[in-house]
Amino acid sequence: MAQSPPAEGYGRRVQSDVYRNGAIGRAPIIPVSPARLAAAATRKMSRRAAAYVVGSAGMETTARDNRVAFGRWKIVPRMLRDVATRDLSIELLGRRLPTPFLLSPIGVLELVHPLADVAVAQAARDLAVPMMVSNQASLPMERIATEIGDGQHWFQLYWSSNDDLVASLVSRAEAAGATAIVVTLDTHMLGWRPRDLDEAYLPFARGQGIAQYTSDPVFLDLVRKRAAAKSGGKRPAPTPAALATLASMSREYPGRLLDNLRSPLPRAAVETFLDVFSRSSLTWRDLAFLRDHTDLPIVLKGIQHPDDARSALDHGVDAVMVSNHGGRQIDGAIGALDALPAVTRAVDGRVPVLFDSGVRGGADAFKALALGASAVGVGRPWVYGLTLAGAQGAAAVMRNLVAELDLTMGLAGYTSVSEISSEALQAV
């Protein structure tokens, strides 16, 4: 497994290792082609898991436009430059990172691999790529942080309707060693996702992906109060589907399965989560509450309009992240890369501009960096790697992305990330 920071000639070495292993009959552990990787992973997933992971909002035009946006920019290679030594490292939020990549947050990873977030943490640790720990993780943030060890991780926050819960989650993230809080702004309600709706399937309603909540003292107090208030109430006659859901809730809730099957707490936990998950009344003024509760850098994820970027600066955030949630929230929204240049101009270098949505290869990362991104988040590709080969698969995906970026930089005539600018691109 590749170690970090990438040494000189990283891309060529990764490439050479693949060819040398092929000469003795060893194929890559996962497909290198992004299309083959996605197809292989989707075949391995359950129908419901594939709907949740692969699906996007509405007719999925935004997800497609994320990819189309990359096609509107072409790399213009420069020749006869000394590119024998290349430096992929960046400075971000006061820390030096060996590459400009980040692992964007994705929840409910138990749908695709039994080790879920632990396996991703292992990959992040081994490659020194910061992991944004999902608010909807399958395991508590403390367990994930233990696996990351000395590696860097950030905590993604979905702002709950209960401010005490928000404060508790942020406090726990600080105590677990998170180095930034990433507030996801674009999911204060779920987008219209036909693949999930056709399955009538929401993992959270079955107790999956809510481990950050069921490990939180504030949330558990809300659950106990809810269960007590509803004790003695009449329950509907059970159906096979309802019994399966109860079993799922009971497996996911802390404690012994048999005890949970008899307890009202697992059901109350799901009902409480569905009540407090999000807050659509959130405004710019509420950011002061978060700043009062943490000294960590605050990143706003989901920025797509330059005026919102300016407002973020006015409210003292430490970075913004251009993202449309991989096309999962609004059908027909602007492609994320199409939004990046205007946001970059609005920020004008005052804070880092991060980027995700639609990245599938190292050349995509090169284009995002050229258009002003300080770092590039990756989502679905490493989930596909996780699906196929656990921690090794997730690490292999990121290793391939880093290798391709390294080679793309060299072939285009650039020796460091800091050199890459819009002059490397041509609009078509």
**Pair of tokens at residue 138:** 């399958």
Helix (H, G, I), strand (E, B) or coil at 296: coil
- The set of residues, in sequence order, having a beta carbon less than 8 Å from that of 126 and lying 6+ positions away, is 1, 2, 3, 4, 391, 395
**Pair of tokens at residue 225:** 């109060």
Phi, psi of 113 (to 5 degrees): -155, 140
> Which residues are tagged catalytic?
325
- The set of residues, in sequence order, having a beta carbon less than 8 Å from that of 342 and lying 6+ positions away, is 305, 306
Strands 425-427 and 73-75: antiparallel
Hey, which bits of 304-400 come out as E strands? 319-322, 353-355, 375-378
Question: What residues does 103 pair with on adjacent strands?
Answer: 131, 378
User: Quick check: 83 and 112 in contact, CB under 8 A?
Assistant: no
Place of tokens 């942020």: 170
User: Quick check: 353 and 373 in contact, CB under 8 A?
Assistant: yes
User: Quick check: 211 and 249 in contact, CB under 8 A?
Assistant: no
Place of tokens 């990359």: 70
CA gap 43, 112 in Å, rounded: 11
Question: What residues does 377 pair with on adjacent strands?
Answer: 102
Helix (H, G, I), strand (E, B) or coil at 301: strand
**Radius of gyration over alpha carbons of the chain, in Å?**
22
Phi, psi of 408 (to 5 degrees): -60, -45
Phi, psi of 157 (to 5 degrees): -115, 120
Helix (H, G, I), strand (E, B) or coil at 419: helix
Helix (H, G, I), strand (E, B) or coil at 206: helix
Exposure string (b/e) for 56-68, b if CB count within 10 Å is 16 or more?
Answer: bbbebbbbebbbe
Exposure string (b/e) for 14-31, b if CB count within 10 Å is 16 or more?
Answer: bbeeeeeeeeeeeeeebb
Using CB atoms within 10 A of its CB, is residue 189 exposed (0-12), middle (13-18) or buried (19+)?
exposed
User: Quick check: 250 and 261 in contact, CB under 8 A?
Assistant: yes
